[in-house]
A and B are shown apart, each in its own frame.
Chain A
Amino acid sequence: MTRMPKPLLEVRGLKKYFEIRKGFLMRTVGWVKAVDGVDLAVYPLETLGLVGESGCGKTTVGLCIARLYEVTSGKIYFQGADLTSLAGEKLRAMRRNIQLVFQDPQSSLDPRMTIKRSVGAPLAIHGLAKGRALEERVADLLRMVGLDPQHMNRYPHEFSGGQRQRIGIARALALSPKLLILDEPTSALDVSVQSQILNLLRDLQQRLRLSYLFISHDLGVVRYMSSRIAVMYLGKIVELAPSEDLFCMPLHPYTQALLSSIPSTNPAHRAMRVTLEGDIPSPANPPSGCRFHTRCTYARAECAKLEPALQDAAAGRYVACHFPLSNSR
């Protein structure tokens, strides 16, 4: 990728710590460093994939960007404006541009509300449409995600999982956002339904000129969706690269291990797998130095002492490793 335009979203030094409280007095006994210094950018019309194992902080990053969490420190710029310093009406207006789609459409739709009310709610809340106009807009949104507008008076339980996810997407699009944060949008769906939703998301991106932050632990899905991919480990970005480069030549040993753990659908690939030993350490007590050194096959003494920064590795690639793979081999 040559000469990038200005980013739509830019995150710098983002940290989000959760308190661990214990005992009768609920004293703070420690901190879960869920996100511990994340830098990333999403450019107009691109999809940035965010991958990593369970608990590495992907959802927390998404919720901080949508400003559903107060950040511990760091800056979040949207079209150049710092969201962390905005408040009141200005923040509300900015936030319309960023919408979230969650994994579980079941829990994000109110079971007592008709689809018309659920999808129309953002418009009603922002006072953007009512009555006939609201109904027409909802019908448009439903058509856009491939649902029959005649079903708008039905309730969520009358729809299948895939249809509910379409409803969740329609609602996220109600305010014509520029950025969608998609947090595992297809993880709860069957593969045949997943492919329908992924194709829909790609079509919508083209038609509505959207940017996506696409969170997932399924690397096949992320590769299909993303132009660039950020790999997260224990609250940090360890590698960021254009998707094809990342898959063809990972620079970080963690990325390499993650890629080789994917079970390939080709039975002939059995012998080629390198598996990672050990469990993911706790984010309340991350290892010293490079957080990955406890599971890294290439770790040397200094990896336990010094934390590597995310550094420019040329050609739009970034890696946080003292001995990136292409150099050490």
Chain B
Amino acid sequence: MGEKLLLQVEDLHTYFYTLQGVIKAIDGVNLCVREGEILGLVGESGCGKSVTALSILGLVPSPPGRVEGGRILFEGEDLLAKTPAEMRSIRGSRIAMIFQEPMSSLNPVFRIGDQMIEVIKLHKKVSTGSARIQALEMLHEVRMPDPEAVLAKYPFQLSGGMLQRVMIAIALSCEPSLLLADEPTTALDVTVQAQILNLMKDLIRKRNAAVLLITHALGVVAQTCDAVSVMYAGTVVESGSVESIFRSPAHPYTRGLMECIPDPSRKSDKLKIIPGTVPDPVNPPPGCRFHPRCYKATATCSQIRPDPVRVGPGHVVCCHYPEEG
């Protein structure tokens, strides 16, 4: 794993202006992805994981959305300063993406082969013949059974797991240095999910590409990622290496999340719960956004937003009273 920073998101704010009010979907997010590293971005529904990815890609739907502040440095360049045309050429070549629903990213009326060949031709400026050869090679690499036959098929003729393999093949065919994967295996069964994650990991390592893996499944992160950032209500509350976060979660929210998942490897008597529900994004609580649900909250927590503090090597937490050990 390289130590060089590939992507750095600093104090990002992305808001949606709706009739119900201003949704502060992203309200001060900091992230960094190193070369060749898999960073997991976890958090509950609505905490802003997808909007973070869309902000990086310059794809926030506008209106109603707008990036209101912050910096997104990718290979040293500020993506927020790029023109739409420049972003278009970065997407799919230097930054690729995979989404949860492969069906929605593939055109249902074109054959798999034609779609793959078109993408490869567009980004690599090669002939149809050599694009076809590369498409076949990529399908082979994602261990697709019978790649020749798959080229001639339509998306609906493939299973979810096979479609996700096609998406990975397309995303990696242009040799991106960063892959954004938004819940790439959530729609798949556990057995297929395990296959796809292993495959992604292998291919990524081989190419020394970096990945931002968005998921709400902590198990997926523990099994796949090198580092993890935990989001809560539009902010990143904790970041660090997978080992240190899973061994000693420092934010009460992270700890709560880990304890409320029924552990398949042992019988639990009573599940821990995090009381309450996620806050309304239009009127988030002041101070630390987690304080209304936190067992150790004090007056300070309801007034002052906690700054990041270091609790270990590369392990940072935004909490006034981090957990110990």
Give chain A interface residues in 151-199, CB to chain B under 8 Å: 160, 162, 190-196, 198-199
Knowing A275-B195, A276-B191, A279-B162 are in contact, say whether A262-B264 is a contact too (CB < 8 A): yes
Chain A residues contacting B192 (CB-CB under 8 Å) are 53, 279-280
Residues on A with beta carbons closer than 8 Å to the beta carbon of B224: 263
B277: Cβ under 8 A from any A Cβ = yes
> Which residue of the partner chain B has the closest CB to A247?
B264
CA distance A217 to B265 in the complex (A): 15
Partner of B273, one of A196, A273, A280: A196
Q: Which residues of B contact A247 (CB under 8 A)?
A: 264-265, 267
* A223 neighbours in B (Cβ, 8 Å): 262, 264, 267
Look across to chain B and name the residue whose beta carbon is closest to the beta carbon of A274: B194
Task: List the A residue with the shortest CB-CB distance to B261.
Answer: A191
Q: Closest CB of chain B to A95's CB: distance in Å?
A: 31
Cβ of B4 within 8 Å of any chain A Cβ, yes or no, is no
B219's partner among A202, A263, A277 (CB-CB below 8 A) is A263
Residue interface bits B90-108, CB-to-A below 8 A is 1, else 0: 0000000000000000000
Cβ of A108 within 8 Å of any chain B Cβ, yes or no, is no
In the assembled complex, the CB of B232 is this many whole angstroms from the nearest CB of chain A, namely 10
Instruction: Indicate if B217 sits at the interface (CB-CB under 8 A).
Output: yes
Contact check, B45 vs A190: say whether CB atoms are below 8 A apart. Answer: yes
Q: Does A22 contact B (CB under 8 A)?
A: no
Whether a CB of chain A sits under 8 angstroms from the CB of B73 is no
Given the known A-B contacts A190-B44, A194-B260, are A264 and B190 also in contact in the complex, defined by CB atoms under 8 Å? no
A312 within 8 A of B: no
CA distance A217 to B191 in the complex (A): 11
Residues in chain A near residue B257, CB distance under 8 A: 191-192
Are B195 and A277 closer than 8 Å at their CB atoms? yes
Residues B216-266 near A (CB distance < 8 A) = 216-220, 222-224, 242-243, 246, 256-258, 260-265
A277-321 residues with Cβ-Cβ distance < 8 A to B are 277-280
Whether A264 contacts B277 by the Cβ 8 Å rule is no
Looking at B189, B246, B272, the one whose CB has the most chain A CB atoms below 10 A away is: B189
* Contact call B216/A190, Cβ cutoff below 8 A: yes
Residue of A nearest to B228 (CB): A267
The answer to whether residues A267 and B242 also contact, given A219-B264, A224-B262, A279-B161 and a CB cut-off of 8 A, is: yes
Contacts of A218 in B (CB 8 A): 262
Given contacts A190-B44, A192-B44, A198-B262, contact A162 B277 (CB under 8 A): yes
Which listed residue, A54, A244, A261, A267, touches B194 by the CB 8 Å rule? Answer: A261
A-B contact number at CB 8 A = 127
How far does the alpha carbon of A202 sit from the alpha carbon of B198 in the complex, in Å?
A: 35
Q: A133-146, CB under 8 A of B: which get 1 and which 0?
A: 00000000000000
Are A224 and B219 CB-contacts (below 8 A) given A162-B277, A257-B191? no
User: Does B159 interact with chain A (Cβ within 8 Å)?
Assistant: yes
Question: Is A54 a contact partner of B189 (Cβ separation < 8 A)?
Answer: yes
Q: In the assembly, what is the distance between CA of A251 and CA of B246, in Å?
A: 31
Residues of B within 8 A of A280 (CB): 159, 189, 192
Within the assembled complex, what's the spacing in Å between the Cα atoms of A164 and B44?
A: 17
- B125 touches A (CB below 8 Å): no
Query: Which applies to chain A's interface (DSSP): helix, strand, loop or mixed?
Result: helix
Bound-state Cα–Cα, A194 to B262, Å? 10
Taken together as a complex, chains A and B put the C-alpha atoms of A249 and B270 apart, in Å, by: 23
Contact A265 B271 (CB under 8 A): no
Chain B CB within 8 A of A269 CB: yes
- B219 in contact with A195 (CB, 8 Å): no
Whether a CB of chain B sits under 8 angstroms from the CB of A270 is yes
Question: Are B263 and A220 in contact, with the CB atoms below 8 A?
Answer: yes
B20 CB–A CB distance under 8 Å? no
A265 and B190 in contact, given A196-B273, A279-B159 (Cβ under 8 angstroms) = no
| A257–B198 alpha-carbon span in the complex (Å) | 15
Q: How many angstroms from the CA of A218 to the CA of B270 in the assembled complex?
A: 17
- With beta carbons under 8 angstroms apart, the residue of B45, B261, B267 that contacts A244 is B267
**Given known A-B contacts A190-B45, A195-B273, A223-B262, A267 and B222 have beta carbons under 8 A apart:** yes
Contact A220 B264, beta carbon cutoff 8 Å: yes
By a CB distance below 8 angstroms, the chain B residues around A265 are: 218-219, 222, 246, 258, 261, 263
| A258 adjacent to chain B (CB < 8 Å) | yes
Distance in angstroms from A158 CB to nearest chain B CB is 13
Give the distance in Å from the alpha carbon of A276 to the alpha carbon of B263 in the complex.
21
- Report the nearest A residue to B264, measured CB to CB: A220
| Nearest CB in chain B to that of A266: its residue | B222
A236-274, CB under 8 A of B: which get 1 and which 0? 000000011001000000000111111111110110010
Q: Taking the nearest CB of chain A, how far is it from the CB of B228, in angstroms? A: 10
Residue of A with least CB distance to B219? A263
Checking B193, B242, B271 against A261 with a beta-carbon cut-off of 8 angstroms, the contacting residue is B193
- Cβ of B278 within 8 Å of any chain A Cβ, yes or no, is yes
A193–B246 Cα distance when bound, in Å, is 21
Cβ of A121 under 8 Å from chain B: no
**Chain B: minimal CB distance from A111 (Å):** 18
A302 to chain B, nearest CB (A): 24
A221 at the interface (CB under 8 A from B): yes
Q: A53-B191, A191-B260, A260-B194 are known; give 12 further A-B pairs, CB within 8 A.
A: A191-B257, A192-B260, A194-B260, A217-B190, A247-B264, A264-B264, A265-B219, A265-B258, A265-B261, A267-B223, A275-B194, A279-B162
Show 19 residue pairs from A and B whose CB-CB distance is below 8 angstroms, ordered by the A residue. A162-B277, A190-B216, A191-B44, A191-B257, A192-B274, A195-B261, A199-B271, A217-B189, A217-B190, A223-B264, A244-B267, A258-B191, A261-B191, A262-B219, A263-B219, A264-B219, A264-B222, A275-B195, A279-B162
Interface residues, chain B, CB within 8 Å of chain A? 44-45, 145, 159, 161-162, 189-195, 197-198, 216-220, 222-224, 242-243, 246, 256-258, 260-265, 267-268, 270-274, 277-278
